[in-house]
């Protein structure tokens, strides 16, 4: 339920509103709605630590930024040099806030960080713990001994104090065995500043702050290894834009190789223009003709892919043209053969005849090249496009969008290659001249490169046309057996062990594994408990009166469809309000039996029984059976009473991250009553890890079935917070969706190959080859510790596409080979 009025808007109009403009987009889970005003009264760090859980709620720790350090040993952690370095953290934060002009913001929620040096000062209550000058080596050593004592025996009174719980849960790493004081040790610092609430705000500040920490804490004695500022998504978007330069470098490298191979600036320019034009035309078709406004970052991978495919097609076409041109030389103009090349410059030579002969050889060579290369390029482009279009069957919107764009790109690239490259050959080779670059100061370098290229070409030709085929023919039986074994082992690795699996801890990885943000997400939950035993719960949201939308876009996440309202709900509720009250209590008890919820509807019904309430509203607090003359109520009557009570008392605020139980009516912007919501927390702990979320979502699914026969009300929407639901849906579908896309790609492409080549056995062998390449590739990365997420699923799709491209080039070339001697 993403459509609910914001708090300020509700205060202004005194009613619930559903509007697409008020969608909750940020992941502000468990944000403290009320400011921690009493924290302003804190005089030093120890006071702040003592009032955590009373004046300062535990939940605020979850919203604060955090750092994780690795120290060379537990002993070294407590030496004064290390303590002084750690104590400087607050100064670094304050200095960075000043430099970025953020003093006037509410970025800093608390006066002090939860930091080990300040905790050691709490043993001496005669000294204020508001400055690093209060550090004392004697109390530091005493604190160390107390920590070791509590680690071995937690039953003592001093080890049960709240401040001791803070140390053991969110400052020191969790250890089940006695601490080895000489081994490396992890500890955390909870900063007094909040995390970014949307992943993008104050990105420059957080990036600069992280860089300062990395510069100050990068040695083996004390090293920053993890950080959580809530800006991982924003940093990824920024890094993605900067990494586009790598794509430009790749394109330049490919263009340089094309220039060396073709020996023509003009032809290289045409190939480059073809590739760039393919990207632009495909984008136009994707956004304008197909009308898809959602362009995920993964589509950029398709742009890199078309560079490889476009260059591959260009090399193939140029190779075929040169091959047939050499044959045409012998056919049309014996004078131009290598044996008679010296006779070209005779004075009495008929230039017109030479031009005519040359045009014939160009035409003949181009015609033969197109007849051979076009079918190979068409088969590879068509099947690669089909492999990408098969992702339309995926339930993951990013993969669907990628499949459409990549498939469209392959088709357009083929069309432009077949139009532009032949024309480029005709223009550049129209006269009697070789494909040569201008003769300027690099002519000698060019001559050397050509000589090296020619020698390399001869060597490669011997290897690929003679040596490798002979070796393959000799060892064909062992090679086939080895391929079968590799395919079987790879299939076992994919299905069974280690298997395609989801990330176990870090659900969404954007950056390198050793980046502090990713390191934190991967390891923090194992090492620390920042909730200090007060772990938040998953919220369950039940909504009556609104049906699931059926008009959402399959290709644009921003088009969620129109609101689908249960028209009869308001009238049914008006006539069965007391029954609905009992239903709410039943649902609340079913979600969490240990909590007795206090409903807003209870207070409303009590209000209807007051003498000061209007007579029409008083009728809603009485059962129909007790009325002398039973009446039929309308939803409009109930709506007016809800609004009267809301104006007089209060309206509940719909917040999907609400920590407390809540319920209330939902109105549209015109004050029309639409639906009723119930938010209550379940017994399941909050998590973003799939295996921990699954029991909760299974519970929601089973809850729908159990409630199907309760009362006269239709089945409600049983939801949870939108971001968690989206993440779970993504992780749940990514494995099966990827497997289905792979299977459909192989099957559909095999049909396409058969219809194009008219050779069933060859097509079947090509599919087996492609399937083997894909399975072995996936198995190798799984053995390397790979887990599947959106990016990885897209790379699997790319692997399939490239496998089709290269395997089918070979298959079609084999099909067009005229001789029966393949040895």
What does the pLDDT look like over 189-230, one tens digit per residue?
Answer: 999 999 998 888 999 999 999 999 999 999 989 999 999 999
Say yes or no to pLDDT of 558 above 80.
no
Mean pLDDT of 759-784: 82
Going from the C-alpha of 398 to that of each of 393, 404, 733, the distances in angstroms are: 12, 10, 12
Say yes or no to pLDDT of 684 above 80.
yes
Q: Report residue 817's pLDDT band, with 50, 70 and 90 as the boundaries.
A: low
Distance CA 629, CA 619 (A): 11
For residue range 368-393, list pLDDT tens digits in order. Answer: 777 777 777 887 788 778 878 888 87
What is the pLDDT, as a whole number, of residue 25?
37
What is the pLDDT, as a whole number, of residue 267?
84
What is the pLDDT, as a whole number, of residue 176?
79
**Which range in 54-58, 333-337, 343-347, 752-756 is most confidently predicted, on average pLDDT?**
54-58
Comparing 539 with 712, which gets the higher pLDDT? 539
For residue range 570-624, list pLDDT tens digits in order. Answer: 888 888 888 888 888 888 888 888 777 788 898 888 888 887 778 778 777 776 5
Say yes or no to pLDDT of 334 above 70.
no
Say yes or no to pLDDT of 115 above 90.
yes
Reduce the DSSP state of residue 539 to 3 states and report it: strand
Q: Report residue 31's pLDDT band, with 50, 70 and 90 as the boundaries.
A: very low
Say yes or no to pLDDT of 819 above 60.
no
Mean pLDDT of the residues in the chain: 79
In this prediction, what percent of the chain has a pLDDT beyond 90?
19
Distance CA 623, CA 638 (A): 15
What is the pLDDT, as a whole number, of residue 750?
72
Q: Report residue 28's pLDDT band, with 50, 70 and 90 as the boundaries.
A: very low
Distance CA 37, CA 109 (A): 9
Say yes or no to pLDDT of 346 above 70.
no
For residue range 442-498, list pLDDT tens digits in order. Answer: 456 666 766 776 677 677 767 777 788 888 888 889 988 998 999 899 888 888 888
Q: Report residue 412's pLDDT band, with 50, 70 and 90 as the boundaries.
A: very high
Cβ contacts of 461 within 8 Å, gap of 6 or more: none
Give residue 245's Cα distance to chain centre.
21
Q: Report residue 704's pLDDT band, with 50, 70 and 90 as the boundaries.
A: low
Residue spans per domain, the chain = 32-196+199-230, 237-437+475-497+731-816, 536-685
Mean pLDDT of 542-555: 82
Distance CA 473, CA 466 (A): 11
Please answer whether residues 638 and 676 qualify as being in contact, where contact means their C-beta atoms are separated by less than 8 angstroms: no
The position carrying tokens 């250890």 is 175
Q: Report residue 8's pLDDT band, with 50, 70 and 90 as the boundaries.
A: very low
Say yes or no to pLDDT of 695 above 70.
yes
Say yes or no to pLDDT of 22 above 50.
no
Of 277-281, 345-349, 385-389, 629-633, the range with the lowest mean pLDDT is: 345-349
Please answer whether residues 812 and 757 qualify as being in contact, where contact means their C-beta atoms are separated by less than 8 angstroms: yes
The dihedral sign for the CA sequence 305, 311, 315, 318: positive
* Residue-by-residue DSSP string for 405-426: HHHHHHHHHHHHHHHHHHHHHH
For residue range 589-599, list pLDDT tens digits in order. Answer: 888 887 777 88
Mean pLDDT of 532-544: 87
Mean pLDDT of 290-299: 85
End-to-end CA distance of the chain: 67
Instruction: Give bridge partners of residue 717 from the DSSP assignment.
Output: 543
Q: Report residue 440's pLDDT band, with 50, 70 and 90 as the boundaries.
A: very low
What is the pLDDT, as a whole number, of residue 42?
66
Q: Report residue 339's pLDDT band, with 50, 70 and 90 as the boundaries.
A: very low
Say yes or no to pLDDT of 12 above 50.
no
What is the pLDDT, as a whole number, of residue 361?
67
Say yes or no to pLDDT of 103 above 90.
no
Query: What is the CB neighbour count within 10 angstroms for residue 347?
Result: 4
Comparing 530 with 399, which gets the higher pLDDT? 530
Mean pLDDT of 670-674: 85
Distance CA 570, CA 18 (A): 16
What is the value of pTM for the model shown?
Answer: 0.76
What is the pLDDT, as a whole number, of residue 352?
63
Q: Where are the alpha helices (DSSP H) in 100-231?
A: 116-121, 137-152, 162-166, 203-216
Comparing 305 with 228, which gets the higher pLDDT? 228
Distance CA 120, CA 113 (A): 13
What is the pLDDT, as a whole number, of residue 77?
93
Q: Report residue 86's pLDDT band, with 50, 70 and 90 as the boundaries.
A: very high
What is the pLDDT, as a whole number, of residue 628?
55
């Amino acid at each position: 339920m993403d459509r609910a009025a914001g708090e300020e808007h509700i205060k202004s109009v005194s009613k619930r509103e559903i509007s697409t403009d008020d969608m909750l987009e940020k992941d502000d889970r468990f944000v403290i709605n009320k400011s921690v005003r009493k924290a302003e009264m804190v005089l030093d760090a120890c006071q702040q630590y003592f009032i955590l859980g009373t004046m300062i709620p535990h939940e605020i720790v979850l919203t604060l930024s955090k750092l994780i350090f690795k120290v060379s040993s537990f002993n070294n952690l407590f030496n004064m040099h290390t303590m002084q370095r750690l104590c400087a953290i607050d100064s670094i934060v304050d200095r960075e806030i000043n430099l970025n002009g953020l003093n006037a913001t509410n970025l800093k929620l608390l006066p002090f960080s939860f930091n080990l040096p300040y905790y050691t000062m709490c043993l001496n209550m005669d000294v204020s713990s508001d400055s690093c000058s209060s550090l004392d080596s004697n109390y530091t050593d005493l604190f160390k001994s107390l920590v070791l004592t509590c680690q071995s025996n937690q039953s003592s009174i001093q080890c049960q104090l709240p401040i001791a719980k803070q140390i053991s849960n969110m400052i020191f790493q969790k250890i089940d065995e006695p601490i080895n004081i000489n081994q490396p040790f992890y500890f955390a610092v909870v900063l007094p500043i909040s995390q970014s609430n949307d992943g993008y705000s104050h990105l420059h500040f957080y990036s600069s702050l992280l860089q300062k920490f990395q510069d100050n804490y990068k040695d083996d004695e004390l090293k920053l290894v993890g950080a959580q500022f809530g800006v991982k998504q924003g940093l990824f978007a920024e890094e993605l834009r900067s990494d586009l330069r790598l794509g430009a470098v790749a394109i330049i490298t490919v263009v340089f190789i094309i220039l060396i191979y073709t020996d023509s600036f003009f032809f290289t320019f045409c190939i480059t223009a073809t590739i760039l034009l393919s990207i632009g035309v495909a984008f136009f078709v994707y956004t304008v003709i197909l009308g898809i406004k959602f362009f995920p970052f993964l589509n950029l991978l398709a742009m890199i892919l078309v560079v490889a495919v476009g260059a591959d097609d260009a090399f193939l076409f140029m190779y075929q043209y040169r091959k047939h041109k050499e044959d045409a030389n012998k056919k049309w103009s014996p004078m131009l053969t290598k044996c008679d090349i010296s006779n070209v410059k005779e004075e009495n030579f008929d230039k017109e005849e030479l031009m005519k002969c040359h045009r014939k050889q160009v035409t003949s060579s181009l015609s033969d090249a197109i007849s051979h290369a076009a079918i190979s390029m068409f088969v590879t482009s068509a099947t690669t496009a089909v492999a990408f279009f098969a992702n339309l069957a995926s339930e993951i919107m990013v993969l669907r969008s990628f499949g459409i764009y990549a498939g469209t790109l392959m088709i357009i690239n083929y069309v432009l290659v077949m139009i532009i490259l032949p024309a480029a050959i005709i223009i550049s080779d129209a006269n009697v001249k070789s494909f040569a670059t201008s003769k300027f100061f690099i002519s000698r370098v060019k001559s050397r490169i050509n000589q090296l290229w020619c020698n390399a070409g001869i060597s490669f030709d011997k290897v690929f046309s003679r040596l490798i085929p002979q070796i393959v023919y000799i060892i064909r039986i062992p090679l086939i057996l080895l391929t079968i074994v590799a395919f079987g082992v790879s299939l076992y690795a994919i299905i069974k062990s280690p298997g395609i699996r989801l990330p176990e801890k870090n659900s969404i990885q954007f950056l390198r594994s050793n980046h502090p943000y990713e390191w934190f997400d991967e390891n923090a939950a194992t090492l620390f408990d920042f909730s200090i035993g007060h772990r938040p719960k998953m919220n369950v949201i039940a909504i009556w009166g609104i049906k699931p939308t059926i008009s959402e876009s399959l290709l644009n996440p921003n088009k969620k469809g129109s609101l689908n309202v249960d028209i009869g709900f308001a009238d049914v509720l008006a006539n069965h309000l007391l029954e609905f009250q009992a239903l709410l209590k039943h649902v609340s008890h079913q979600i969490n039996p240990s909590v007795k919820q206090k409903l807003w509807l209870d207070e409303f019904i009590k209000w209807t029984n007051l003498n000061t309430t209007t007579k029409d509203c008083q009728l809603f607090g009485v059962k129909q059976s007790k009325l002398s003359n039973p009446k039929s109520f309308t939803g409009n009557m109930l709506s007016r009473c809800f609004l009267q009570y809301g104006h007089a008392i209060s309206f509940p605020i719909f917040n999907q991250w609400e920590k407390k139980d809540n319920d209330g009516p939902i109105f549209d912007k015109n004050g029309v009553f639409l639906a009723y919501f119930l938010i209550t927390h379940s017994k399941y702990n909050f998590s973003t890890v799939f295996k921990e979320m699954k029991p909760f979502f299974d519970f929601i699914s089973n809850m729908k079935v159990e409630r199907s026969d309760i009362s006269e009300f239709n089945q409600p929407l049983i939801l949870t917070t939108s971001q968690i639901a989206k993440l779970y849906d993504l992780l749940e579908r990514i494995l099966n969706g990827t497997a289905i896309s792979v299977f459909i790609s192989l099957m559909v492409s095999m049909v396409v190959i058969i219809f194009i080549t008219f050779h069933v056995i060859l097509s079947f062998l090509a599919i087996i080859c492609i399937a083997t390449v894909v399975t072995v590739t996936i198995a190798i990365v799984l053995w390397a510790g790979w887990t599947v997420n959106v990016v990885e699923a897209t790379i699997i799709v790319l692997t399939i596409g490239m496998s089709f491209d290269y395997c089918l080039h070979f298959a079609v070339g084999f099909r067009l080979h005229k001789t029966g001697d393949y040895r």
